[in-house]
Chains A and B, each alone.
Chain A
Amino acid sequence: MSDLIAPTKLTKKDFETDQDLRWCPGCGDYSILANVQRMMPELGIPREQIVWVSGIGCSSRFPYYMNTYGFHTIHGRAPAVALGVKVANPELSVWLATGDGDGLSIGGNHLMHCLRRNLDVKILMFNNRIYGLTKGQYSPTSELGKVTKSTPAGSVDQPVDPASFALGVNASFVARSIDTEAQHLGEVLRRAAAHSGTAFMEIYQNCNVFNDGAFDAFTDKAVRAERQVRVEHGKPLLFGANQEKGLRLNPRTLGLEVVNVGEGGVPLEEVLVHDETNPTFGQLLARMPFPEFPVAVGVLHASLRPTYDGTLRAQQKAAREKLGQGDLGKLLRGGSTWTI
């Protein structure tokens, strides 16, 4: 039967646009784009059903390079615009590209409310710990004492950790990944796509012009096994070249500690097994201080609860069932009327 013919399978190429990419050569944004373009065809969603919304920043140029619908809005406001898009048409698959400045500085308020509402959208936060587009001022994720053009004596404000922030406002999905780790990033993107509700992804992204090497201390091939813990639901929290280290809960401090596992160390059973449905795990993992602890990447938290758009739709449906399709004439004649 003709309607059983599978639609032509899309490829990465189908998601590329004819626009010249205007990021600096070597920027981490390129690899994030490539990974997203590779992942999108797997979703089986027609391109016209996908919308990319962004704010302002290098990272927010992203929609121009995706052959889907795209809306490059104003600085910090992408979650607010996306709110209207998703509410107006819940059938759309809505994705957001934002930066650490866009999402956590000027747009921190909107991001918070998007996360707590659990609007069914997917958010990619490109965290380069710097303002790229405005040429290198420190950002809300820059480390304390950061020397930049605007802070020659070092920044004086404490940074915010995006994943911890997201968990703090009750995000239903929080993950971390790294621009250059194609496989890991692809997996996180797929998990986010499958999540119902706001999926928040913090992606460590190298800005090779204004903050080069910001993440080398845990992303460099030579150290990453020691300095990253890749969390997976139901698996023990192990790291190290031979998975010889683990994270254990210290019941007295209610905090994590690094232990050696196996010979000369603690038995495997003492190592914490990751439970992504429990936000306490996410929070403990997100807040581990570096370099005393490794950096946790992967899906830190994922749980299900009703979405904002879904609940709104249900209310509208209920109103229609109760009151019928609106009758304008009746509405205008509401209250007491008199005829002359």
Chain B
Amino acid sequence: MEPVSPSPPVAEHPSREVIRGAVVRFAGDSGDGMQVTGDQFTAAAALARNDLATFPDFPAEIRAPAGTTYGVSGFQVHFSSQDVFTPGDAPDVLVAMNPAALKTNLKDLKKGGLLILNSGTFNATNLKKAGYEVNPLEDNSLDGYTVLSIDITKLTVTSVKDTGLSNKEAHRCKNFWTLGLMFWIYSRPLEPTLKWIESKFGKRSDLVAANIAALKAGHAYGETAEVFQHRYEVPAAPVEKGEYRNIGGNTATALGLVAGAQLAGLPLVLGAYPITPASDVLHELSKHKQFGVTTIQAEDEIAAVCAALGASYAGNLGVTSTSGPGMALKMEGIGLALSVELPLVIIDIQRGGPSTGLPTKTEQADLLQAVYGRNSEGPVCVIAASTPGNCFDMAIEAVRLALKYMTPVILLTDGYLANGAEPWRIPRVEDLPKIDVKFRTDPAGFHPFLRDPETLARNWAIPGTPELMHRIGGLEKDYNSGHISYAPDNHERMVKVRAAKIAGIANDIPPLTMEVGEDSGKLLVLGWGSTYGSIREAVQRCRDRGLSVSHAHLRYINPFPSNLGEVMKRFDRVLVPELNLGQLVKIVRSTFLVPAESFAKVQGQPFKISELEDKIRQVLES
């Protein structure tokens, strides 16, 4: 026997480089599992305590024809050891699983960025489907990038060959192979994903084995293939002490609603009709029956809002969640709610419109519909969430205002918040303020439209209360008795009192403060909703370059914070960026007579930081 020589000590290969952070985009066919890959990659970043933000971007079709450009599904994640406010403008790394994904995403990749390609899919058929005349791997079109062309398909199939999967199923493991490689590049442990695979595919041991094999093979490839100069490490971000989890906007909204109902001590009834991107709120709430949450999948959005209103009438917290087209259907019901002055929470998770529009893309163009969309004088409270985590706070706020003021409250979020995620410091339940609810029980002097002199909210007498039987409805009510009245003066009085009640909420919400910058100067960038992260980052970068610009962000739109007019006066100019043709700016101008300027984008995509930076500079230079 030949003596076995001891293996030489392995130097760590290649070297690990500590970096601040990165923006990574996964792109592939909608059947390639890019959302799962992105989620798992994000979870790993979260576990490493990076700050992060994500942006899933997928087509409306569940399985668009394979290989086409319109069937490409993407997931972008920005993780860092510093504060992160957006999923990032341009990816540092693009993973393209097929030619179509390359075709649609390459333009966004940073010059010199890392491009990982599955060369196994670059065949004639796929190239043609993607619209390539020449194979981009063979001309010089990728010259400006660091290209890593790997036959992921073949390597995956080889890695799972012992698990007995069919060829088709074997191909499906490509995303875990790729994830394994990405984990290696960013020095992430495999264990959490191994566990996840086990729980996800538990019932099919062959799938568990195959996906694990693929994940490990991808990881091993990084270790052995010697194609990488660097391996990266992103240290933990310095954040406030506390317990954290990763949270997406829709989950945060749903949890905020449960919390709000618990804080008020009321059962919650959600009426909803499935619609992208709102359905996940229904899905999430349907899991929490033990909290006294009842979900009704209604026959349409009209029934959904009416059922929610019926529940509020009977003394529960009525909630309804939807997106643009469903919102349009709910308007008559919301009008009834404001007329009978019952609490009602309406969540509008905005998407691209009009009509069916861009179901899976984001937009902020339901603002005017929310503020003004009812027949006649129909004031309701309108608020908006700014980040996925903020959806939680604003959902509680919607519950608080609806119950305190006996009014519908519309909470606006959007597709970007709904599907995006960020690390979220979990609040302690003890720190959440209770919401005080009093049902009327005293018959002395009762009528249903008796008002609290301060809030103007009417008293809430619910069925089941002895001696307080009464009738309400959408016909105009006499101010002094609650009976039907068609009297001209009374009608005007009631119109005004309903308006005054909503306007009065301004005294019960926080004043507008600066997110970034001084509270006076040359330019105020005034945002609302999901544009928060991009605006904040853009304003910060401009300030770093010495520009006089500040950022304020509205979370209350009807009514506005009481100091908004005064805040705007302290700046020479006001710029309002929105993902619509200028809706908030319209309200701001007409309310305050200020020459606020609009910066509009309506592409179904969020603002890039650079777009905002350029605009700010341009405004300040003009």
Contacts and interface: CB of A to CB of B under 8 A. Distances in A.
B471 A72 contact: yes
A87 B294 contact: yes
A101 interface: no
Contact of B302 (A17, A49, A66, A80): A80
A71 B310 CA distance: 9
B463 A46 contact: no
Nearest to B254: A331
B310 A92 contact: no
B471 A88 contact: no
B426 A332 contact: yes
Interface in A191-246: none
B147 interface: no
B471 A64 contact: yes
A73 interface: yes
B313 to A, nearest CB: 6
A275 B49 CA distance: 70
Interface string B280-316: 0000000011111010101110111011111111111
B594 interface: no
A339 B426 CA distance: 10
Interface string A92-114: 10000000000000000110110
A85 B342 CA distance: 13
B46 interface: yes
Contact of B291 (A56, A326, A336): A326
Contacts of B239: 340
A83 B258 contact: no
A47 B307 contact: no
Nearest to A72: B473
Nearest to B258: A331
A19 B310 contact: no
A306 to B, nearest CB: 16
Contacts of B246: 335-336
Contact of A84 (B46, B47, B292, B312): B312
Interface in B222-269: 236, 239-246, 255, 258-259, 262, 267, 269
A326 B261 CA distance: 12
Contact of A339 (B244, B291, B298, B468): B244
B289 A328 contact: no
B243 A89 contact: no
B193 to A, nearest CB: 12
Nearest to A320: B290
Contacts of A315: 289
A57 to B, nearest CB: 12
A85 B463 contact: yes
Contacts of A338: 46-47, 49, 243-245
B303 A77 contact: yes
Q: Which one of B43, B236, B468, B484 has the highest number of Cβ atoms from chain A below 10 Å of its Cβ?
A: B484
Contacts of A77: 302-303, 306, 333
A77 B337 CA distance: 13
Interface string B574-610: 0000000000000000000000000000000000000
B258 A84 contact: no
Given A338-B46, A339-B244, A324 B269 contact: no
Contacts of A329: 428-429
Given A73-B473, A85-B313, A113-B303, A340 B49 contact: yes
B271 interface: yes
Given A69-B463, A83-B296, A88-B310, A336 B290 contact: no
A312 B294 contact: yes
Contact of A88 (B242, B288, B304, B316): B316
Contact of B314 (A17, A64, A88, A323): A88
B43 A80 contact: no
Tier of interface size on chain B: 35 or more
Given A85-B314, A312-B294, A328-B429, A69 B474 contact: no
A40 to B, nearest CB: 12
A67 interface: yes
Q: Which one of B290, B333, B466 has the highest number of Cβ atoms from chain A below 10 Å of its Cβ?
A: B290
A335 B294 CA distance: 22
Nearest to A308: B296
A328 B293 CA distance: 12
Contacts of B469: 47-48, 67-70
Contacts of A156: none
B427 A332 contact: yes
A81 B303 CA distance: 7
Interface in A294-340: 312, 315-316, 319-320, 322-326, 328-329, 331-340
A316 B268 CA distance: 12
Given A72-B473, A84-B311, A64 B484 contact: yes
A166 to B, nearest CB: 16
Chain B at the A interface: SS class? mixed
Contacts of B255: 331-332
Nearest to A77: B306
Q: Which one of A47, A112, A332, A335 has the highest number of Cβ atoms from chain B below 10 Å of its Cβ?
A: A332
B288 A80 contact: no
A3 to B, nearest CB: 17
Q: Which one of A80, A109, A334 has the highest number of Cβ atoms from chain B below 10 Å of its Cβ?
A: A80
A81 B428 contact: no
A69 to B, nearest CB: 4
B472 A70 contact: yes
Contact of B333 (A68, A74, A86): A74
Given A72-B473, A336-B245, A48 B467 contact: yes
A53 interface: yes
A258 B332 CA distance: 49
Contacts of B299: 80, 109-110, 112-113
B510 interface: no
B307 A335 contact: no
Contacts of A92: 314, 463-464
Contacts of B464: 48-49, 89, 91-92
A46 B465 CA distance: 10
Contacts of B262: 326, 328
B434 interface: no
B227 to A, nearest CB: 32
Nearest to A51: B463
A81 B463 contact: no
A88 B317 CA distance: 9
A53 B259 contact: no
Contacts of B128: none
A84 B289 contact: no
Contact of A337 (B192, B316, B340, B426): B426
A85 B267 CA distance: 12
A323 B290 contact: yes
A337 B463 contact: no
A47 B333 CA distance: 27
A69 B332 CA distance: 22
B314 A89 contact: yes
Contact of B290 (A46, A82, A110, A324): A324
A336 B294 contact: no
A80 B306 contact: yes
Nearest to B432: A328
A140 interface: no
B474 A339 contact: no
A63 interface: yes
Contacts of A336: 43, 46-47, 192, 245-246
B467 A332 contact: no
A91 B267 CA distance: 15
B336 interface: yes
Given A83-B303, A84-B269, A340-B241, 14 more contacts: A47-B469, A53-B310, A70-B469, A70-B472, A71-B310, A80-B306, A85-B314, A87-B310, A88-B310, A88-B314, A89-B462, A326-B290, A338-B244, A340-B239
8 contacts: A66-B471, A71-B313, A72-B472, A73-B309, A92-B314, A110-B306, A331-B258, A336-B192
The 9 lowest CB-CB distance pairs between A and B, nearest first, are A84-B310, A72-B473, A326-B291, A80-B306, A70-B471, A319-B289, A84-B307, A88-B314, A84-B311
